[in-house]
């Protein structure tokens, strides 16, 4: 058993991790930048170490400061949360070199999934379905032309070191290929310091369905069903749910097995998510694997009864996963509450929260680091709370979410709560007929409602 874990993160996820540690009898060390001195994760941890100024690069991303904090507090393990250093192979490696257990996969697993062309090749070799496209990196415009003529337009060019929607370009006709190819390479070089790109057939109007997996150090991998994350804006997820409205038991079985195969192919350890696109005929294709705990993990927790952070810690300590049948009960939905103004194109809304009344009642969960009087620092992302509800059916979960959103009173800043309320009332959302295009191209938020 670990005696003490350092949480290398901030905000709601730091608090989320600290809560599970407390329940497991593990001491916690929080780290914080000077901008987060009044944050709840600092208050609720057993110890806290200031690691630098507000800028992430000089605090939450600064590996030497995090290791120094772990060493002076005698922490045996580091939980990276999501974002920041959670998917940096180098951080996983340096932790290992200092005899600190990184709660997550090995540097090698992270690196093999982080490079998208390498990941795709690994999937092909392990019979995980992928979108037809180039055989690895496209080295020249002549190569690009040949690939595109073979697979047909439209195509999508993606940066090998990209991911999460960064560094992609859609090309509808050959006329635009040369320009898009060279621009994509240039952008990839400046954004990721890696000009490599690859090409895929562009899947029109896809659904985003991801499978949660858990892997122990003994080669056992299980899946915990899916989350539908199709409701996004500018590659930011807005709402996630489980099960997916499009899922069938047969498709879940197939996608679950593919996700397990994906994890096994890189000797994965810990919690991970395998992201798939699903097309209108319910064909599914591997997109990428996220080698961290994700923001939306609570929807899986609420319907499977697993504490995913506890599972991460247990497998990191070398425990074996129990091989029991997956039970998914009911339906869970998560709305991300951001400090943004939906009436003004979601511009960030900084400032002090004056009133903060959280909803409650049956099967309502609020994961947040915010409170009345909390000043939102402008240096980090805008998510201030996650509202998660569950109910026996999707219809009931939508009703519960709507009433919980109305109970959630935040004053002093603008939030995305009004946007979510209108989404709950939307017919297509209620019917489950939406894909990744829906929020940006079809759904209309009415500020006057
Ligand atoms: C695609 C695609 C269509 N065809 N690949 C965006 C995030 C990254 N994980 C993969 N992404 C996409 N890859 C092919 N071959 C469309 C997207 C995409 C998308 C995917 C999931 C959720 C929202 C999206 C929004 C725009 C594009």
Residues 248 and 395 in one domain: yes
Which ligand 1 atom is at minimum distance from the Cα of 232? 23
292, 336, 365, 400: which is the annotated catalytic residue? Answer: 292
Please tell me the residue having the least CA distance from ligand 1 atom 27: 165
> Which range of residues forms the domain containing residue 416?
207-441
Q: SS3 of 23, please? A: helix
The C-alpha atoms of residue 310 and residue 270 are separated, in whole angstroms, by: 11
Confidence of residue 165 (pLDDT cuts 50, 70, 90): confident
Which ligand 1 atom is at minimum distance from the Cα of 204? 3
Residues 195 and 216 in one domain: no
Q: Is residue 434 part of a domain?
A: yes
The C-alpha atoms of residue 375 and residue 377 are separated, in whole angstroms, by: 6
Confidence of residue 51 (pLDDT cuts 50, 70, 90): very high
Looking at residue 164, what is its pLDDT?
85
pTM over 0.85: yes
Say if residue 25's pLDDT is above 90.
yes
Kindly state the average pLDDT of the residues 60-64: 98
Contact present, 339 and 354 (Cβ < 8 Å): no
Which ligand 1 atom is at minimum distance from the Cα of 437? 25
**How many angstroms does the Cα of residue 165 sit away from the middle of ligand 1?**
6
**How many angstroms does the Cα of residue 40 sit away from the middle of ligand 1?**
35
Confidence of residue 235 (pLDDT cuts 50, 70, 90): very high
278 Cβ inside 6 Å of ligand 1? no
Say which CATH number the domain at 89 has. 3.40.50.20
pLDDT per residue as tens digits for the range 99-126:
999 999 999 999 999 999 999 999 999 9
**How many angstroms does the Cα of residue 116 sit away from the middle of ligand 1?**
13
Residues 283 and 229 in one domain: yes
| Strand residues in 98-149 grouped as ranges (E) | 101-102
Say which CATH number the domain at 147 has. 3.30.1490.20
- Residue where a domain terminates, one of 167, 182, 201: 201
Please tell me the residue having the least CA distance from ligand 1 atom 11: 165
Residues 375 and 425 in one domain: yes
Say if residue 38's pLDDT is above 90.
yes
- Reading phi first (left if > 0) and then psi (alpha if -120 to 50, else beta), residue 234 is in left
Residues 6+ apart with CB under 8 A from 203: 131, 277, 279, 285
**How many angstroms does the Cα of residue 349 sit away from the middle of ligand 1?**
28
Say if residue 306's pLDDT is above 90.
yes
171 Cβ inside 6 Å of ligand 1? no
**How many angstroms does the Cα of residue 207 sit away from the middle of ligand 1?**
9
Confidence of residue 423 (pLDDT cuts 50, 70, 90): very high
- The angle formed by the CA atoms of residues 198, 199 and 202, to the nearest 5 degrees, is 145
Q: Is residue 216 part of a domain?
A: yes
Kindly state the average pLDDT of the residues 295-324: 97
- Residue where a domain terminates, one of 201, 229, 245: 201
Which ligand 1 atom is at minimum distance from the Cα of 229? 22
Residues 184 and 237 in one domain: no
Q: Is residue 392 part of a domain?
A: yes
259 Cβ inside 6 Å of ligand 1? no
Say which CATH number the domain at 427 has. 3.30.470.20
Q: Is residue 361 part of a domain?
A: yes
Looking at residue 26, what is its pLDDT?
98
Looking at residue 258, what is its pLDDT?
98
Say if residue 449's pLDDT is above 90.
no
**How many angstroms does the Cα of residue 418 sit away from the middle of ligand 1?**
27
202 Cβ inside 6 Å of ligand 1? yes
The count of structural domains within the chain is 3
Residues 41 and 164 in one domain: no
Q: Average pLDDT of the chain?
A: 97
From residue 201, alpha-carbon distances to 84, 104, 148, 424 in Å are: 31, 32, 8, 33
287 Cβ inside 6 Å of ligand 1? yes
Residues 145 and 258 in one domain: no
Residues 49 and 148 in one domain: no
Say if residue 152's pLDDT is above 90.
yes
Q: Is residue 125 part of a domain?
A: no
Confidence of residue 319 (pLDDT cuts 50, 70, 90): very high
- Residue where a domain terminates, one of 103, 122, 155: 103
Confidence of residue 278 (pLDDT cuts 50, 70, 90): very high
Confidence of residue 3 (pLDDT cuts 50, 70, 90): very high
Residues 270 and 162 in one domain: no
Looking at residue 352, what is its pLDDT?
98
C-alpha 145: how far from chain center: 34
The C-alpha atoms of residue 397 and residue 403 are separated, in whole angstroms, by: 10
Say if residue 1's pLDDT is above 90.
no
The C-alpha atoms of residue 29 and residue 44 are separated, in whole angstroms, by: 9
Say if residue 163's pLDDT is above 90.
no
Kindly state the average pLDDT of the residues 350-354: 96
Segment among 135-144, 214-223, 332-341, 422-431 with least mean pLDDT: 135-144
Residues 22 and 91 in one domain: yes
Say if residue 421's pLDDT is above 90.
yes
Q: Is residue 53 part of a domain?
A: yes
The proportion of the chain whose per-residue pLDDT surpasses 70, expressed as a percent, equals 100
Residues 57 and 91 in one domain: yes
Please tell me the residue having the least CA distance from ligand 1 atom 21: 208
Please tell me the residue having the least CA distance from ligand 1 atom 19: 436
The residue with tokens 């339906």 is 331
Q: Is residue 121 part of a domain?
A: no
Active site residue 93: no
Say if residue 432's pLDDT is above 90.
yes
Residues 190 and 222 in one domain: no
Q: Is residue 111 part of a domain?
A: no
Indicate the top mutation candidate among 158, 172, 287, 296 to test ligand 1's pocket, ranked by most ligand atoms within 8 A of CB.
Answer: 287
């Amino acid at each position: 058993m670990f005696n003490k874990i350092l949480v290398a993160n901030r905000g709601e996820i730091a608090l989320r991790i600290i809560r599970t540690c407390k329940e497991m009898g593990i001491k916690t060390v929080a780290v914080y930048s000077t901008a987060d001195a009044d944050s709840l994760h600092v208050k609720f941890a057993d110890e806290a170490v200031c690691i630098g100024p507000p800028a992430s690069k000089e605090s939450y991303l600064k590996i030497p400061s995090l290791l120094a904090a772990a060493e002076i507090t005698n922490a045996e393990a580091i939980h990276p949360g999501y974002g920041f250093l959670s998917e940096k192979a180098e951080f996983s490696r340096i932790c290992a070199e200092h005899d600190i257990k990184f709660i997550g996969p090995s540097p090698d697993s992270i690196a093999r999934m982080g490079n998208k062309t390498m990941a795709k090749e690994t999937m092909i070799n392990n019979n995980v379905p992928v979108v037809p496209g180039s055989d690895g990196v496209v080295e020249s415009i002549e190569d690009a032309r040949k690939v595109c003529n073979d697979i047909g337009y439209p195509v999508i060019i993606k940066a090998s070191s990209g991911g999460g929607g960064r560094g992609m370009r859609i090309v509808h006709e050959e006329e635009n290929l040369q320009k898009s190819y060279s621009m994509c390479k240039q952008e990839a070089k400046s954004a990721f310091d890696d000009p490599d790109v690859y090409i895929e057939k562009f899947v029109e109007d896809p659904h985003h369905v991801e499978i949660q997996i858990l892997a122990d150090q003994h080669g056992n991998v299980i899946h915990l069903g899916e989350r539908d994350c199709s409701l996004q804006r500018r590659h930011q997820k807005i709402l996630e749910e489980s099960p997916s409205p499009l899922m069938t038991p047969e498709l879940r079985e197939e996608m679950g097995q593919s996700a397990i195969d994906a994890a096994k192919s890189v000797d994965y350890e810990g919690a991970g998510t395998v992201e798939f696109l699903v097309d209108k005929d319910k064909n599914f294709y591997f997109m990428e694997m996220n080698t961290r705990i994700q923001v939306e993990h609570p929807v899986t927790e609420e319907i499977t009864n697993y504490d995913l952070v506890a599972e991460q810690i247990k497998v990191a300590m070398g425990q074996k996963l129990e091989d029991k049948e997956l039970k998914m009960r009911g339906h869970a939905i998560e709305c991300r509450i951001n400090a943004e103004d939906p009436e003004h194109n979601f511009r960030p809304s900084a400032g002090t929260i004056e009133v903060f009344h959280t909803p409650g009642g049956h099967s309502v969960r609020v994961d947040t680091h915010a409170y009345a009087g909390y000043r939102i620092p402008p240096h980090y992302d805008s998510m201030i709370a996650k509202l998660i509800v569950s109910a026996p059916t999707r219809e009931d979960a939508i009703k519960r979410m709507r009433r919980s959103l109305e109970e959630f009173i935040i004053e002093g800043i603008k939030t995305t709560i009004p946007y979510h309320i209108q989404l709950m009332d939307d017919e297509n959302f209620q019917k489950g007929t939406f894909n990744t295009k829906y929020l940006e191209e079809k759904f209309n938020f009415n500020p006057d409602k």
